[in-house]
Amino acid sequence: MVVKLTLSISPKRVALVLTIVVIGLSIVSLAGQFSRHILGHGSLFGLVRLFNVGEDSNIPTWYSSITLLFCSLLLAFIATSQKIARARYILHWKVLSAIFLYLSIDEVAMIHENADAMLGSSISRTGFLHYGWVAVGVPLTLIFVVSYLKFLAHLPRKTRLLFFVAGTIFVSGAIGAEMFAGRYDDLYGYENMTYAMITAVEEFCEMFGIVVFIYALLSYMKLNLTEVHFCIQKAAMQPKRRVINDGELQR
């Protein structure tokens, strides 16, 4: 028995829903920080922490982890389809899938935050480098961009533009806003509304950058893959055969 499922996804609808979710999470988080730093109500039955985009192990964290994992799965699917079609740059798609899988894990495991402890006192922790992992993140990002220039050039114009926009927005938050947050933390500390607003901008850029990237991937799949099928195949049941020996035949 073979069961075939045809999956039809509208890139625009997915992007619209995710954009609403990102805006909603950002507004609720800012409202919680306003309650905490301005009104003096820092808990509200735990809701402030639960929706704070600057905290870990809460709803925004798990949302980001899930969307990053979704990107990894889409990239793995594209890599598989490209392999079947014997297209170019299969390895680039696979590496991208692995990177987003790592980012998904890092979102909940806080690997890059722990990089400060591993770096020790090897770099100056002042100003824009107050968060030490940035000193590693910037060169790695540059190396990645340079190594993917040819890959980006071969993509369709719309996909290439969307990849560029998504990457710019994401990096502006993950590294750019993070550097400003580090400098502000170094000068004034992080227990205030201004730092909370910088963090909100940082996380919004990261989450919205992923929304644009998901839209880019789904649009690319819609252009290059006419249909997506999932097949579930069950082996046919064979009737049991009874072995009859010579003695039974003589009876």
Which residues are registered as beta bridge partners of 215?
A: none
Q: Is 244 among the domain residues?
A: no
Query: Residue 35 pLDDT more than 90?
Result: yes
Q: Is 119 among the domain residues?
A: yes
Give the number of other Cβ atoms within 10 Å of residue 115's Cβ: 16
Q: What is the pLDDT of residue 8?
A: 73
Range of the structural domain that residue 45 is part of: 2-237
pTM: 0.86
Residue pLDDT, tens place only, 5-23? 456 789 999 999 999 999 9
Q: Is 243 among the domain residues?
A: no
In the chain, alpha helices (H):
11-34, 47-50, 59-84, 90-109, 115-119, 134-147, 149-154, 157-171, 178-188, 193-224, 246-250
Three-class HEC string of 137-159: HHHHHHHHHHHCHHHHHHCCHHH
Residue pLDDT, tens place only, 42-61? 889 999 999 999 998 899 99
Q: Is 251 among the domain residues?
A: no
Q: Is 43 among the domain residues?
A: yes
Contact indicator for 51, 59 with CB cutoff of 8 Å = yes
| Number of compact structural domains in the chain | 1
Residue pLDDT, tens place only, 58-101? 999 999 999 999 999 999 999 999 998 888 999 999 999 999 99
Q: Is 242 among the domain residues?
A: no
Under the banding of pLDDT at 50, 70 and 90, the label for residue 250 is very low
